[in-house]
Every structure is written in structure tokens, then in C-alpha cells.
Amino acid sequence: MPQVRRLRWAMSEVRSQAATGPGGAAHDTTGLATGVAEPSGLDHSGSSVAADSVTGGGASRHGAAQPGSGGWRAPLGRGVQATNQYMGVLAVLALLLVALTVTQPQFLTSDNFVNILEANSVLLVVSVGLTFVLLVGGIDLSIVGTIALTQVGLWELIKAGMPAGLACVVVIAGAFAVGFLINGLLIGRVGLSFLVVTIATASIFQGVANVRTGGQS
């Protein structure tokens, strides 16, 4: 009880000194710290509680510990939420796989998976590139023309005697340069609509490919 009365007296002194001026408040706050932290009849646990009640240290310590304790749960929660959102699609896909496995003996074979990868390799590569365009709110309609032009360019380079690996590298670098210098600059720098630019470049690339091949596919 003497310690409680002393603490109340010190807090009242702080309020009174704060009303008189900044200098008095600073002087009395120092006296409070020395008077409360080391009373003769108060143990270390009591002084810690008194200091936390005055400075708010206990609350700050608990507040700082809470974000770290649940940091690993946030990605897990987002993963569970995404799974619940697409649960219907995943269920239909699982049923489809089971049905094909039962009705088609050759479905779960290595040859079938190789055929699926070969048939969809171009679509997979194009989808990866288009994903970044969609993430920034755009769309690229020149994909078909770019693919046609690169196929014709690859065929002509290999026909001219260039090794296949080097021809692939040259064609990929050329497609990147064309997409960056035409689509990228017109949309990003000039500020034209991505629909107008990509439709125009798709028509140009498709036309160049048709001219080089004589309209053959």
C-alpha cells in the first residue's frame, strides 16, 4: 500500500508539473523514474509491473509479438482459400482423370504424356508469356502472327544451312526484339491502345509470313 500511494503521488506531481511547463514536467518525470523504480520495500516483479503500467512497455511487447506469431499462417490461409474457391473445378478434373484411367488403358502411359506435351508445348510457352501481360491489365492479340512469322523465319534459317539450335536462338531473339521495339514502345511509350497495336502487328506479321510462304501452310 505505501508503494501504491507513492505511485499515485508521483503521477499527480507529473500532471501538475506538465501543466506548468515542459521543464518542470521533464524534471518531475525523472523523479518519478527514480522514485518508482527503486522503492525500498518493493521487489523486482513489483517494479516491473509499475514500470509497465506507466510506460506501456508490457503492451508494446505483447503487440510486437503478435504479428510474428502468425506470419507463417497467412500464406497457408491464402492457399486454403484458393483451394476452396476452385474446389469444383478440381473435383471435375479428378473425376475426369479417374474416368479416363478406367476407360482408356493407354491413358496413364509415358507415350501418352509425351504426346500431350508435344501437342501443347507451343501453347504452354505462349501461355507463360501472356500471363505477365494479363497481370498488368493488358492483352496481346499479335501472338498468332508472331508465331507464324517465327516459324517461317526458323524454316528459312535452317534451309539456308544454319544449325537448328542457333536458328532457334536467333528466331527467339528476333521475336523478342520485334515485340519490344514495336508493341512495347507503341503501347508503353507512345501510349496507344494495346488492342489497336496488337491487332495491327498481328495482321502485319501474318501478312509477311503468307508472302514468304506463298500462302502455303
Residue 183 in contact with residue 142, Cβ under 8 Å?
yes
Query: From CA 151, how far away is CA 41, in angstroms rounded?
Result: 90
Q: For the chain, where are the alpha helices, taking DSSP H only? A: 2-20, 22-37, 44-55, 57-69, 73-85, 87-103, 110-135, 143-159, 164-178, 194-213
Kindly indicate the confidence band of residue 2, based on its pLDDT and cuts at 50, 70 and 90: low
Specify the amino acid at residue 117. Answer: L
Q: Which residue has the higher pLDDT, 22 or 76?
A: 76
What pLDDT was estimated at residue 155? 92
Query: From CA 124, how far away is CA 131, in angstroms rounded?
Result: 11
Residues in the chain, how many? Answer: 217
What pLDDT was estimated at residue 50? 44
Kindly report the pTM of this predicted structure. Answer: 0.51
Residue 95 Cα distances to 88, 100, 101, angstroms: 11, 9, 10
Kindly indicate the confidence band of residue 167, based on its pLDDT and cuts at 50, 70 and 90: very high
Specify the amino acid at residue 98. Answer: V
Q: Which residue has the higher pLDDT, 94 or 76?
A: 94
Q: Which residue has the higher pLDDT, 89 or 34?
A: 89
Residue by residue, what is the 3-state secondary structure of 62-107?
Answer: HHHHHHHHCCCHHHHHHHHHHHHHCHHHHHHHHHHHHHHHHHCCCC
What pLDDT was estimated at residue 17? 65
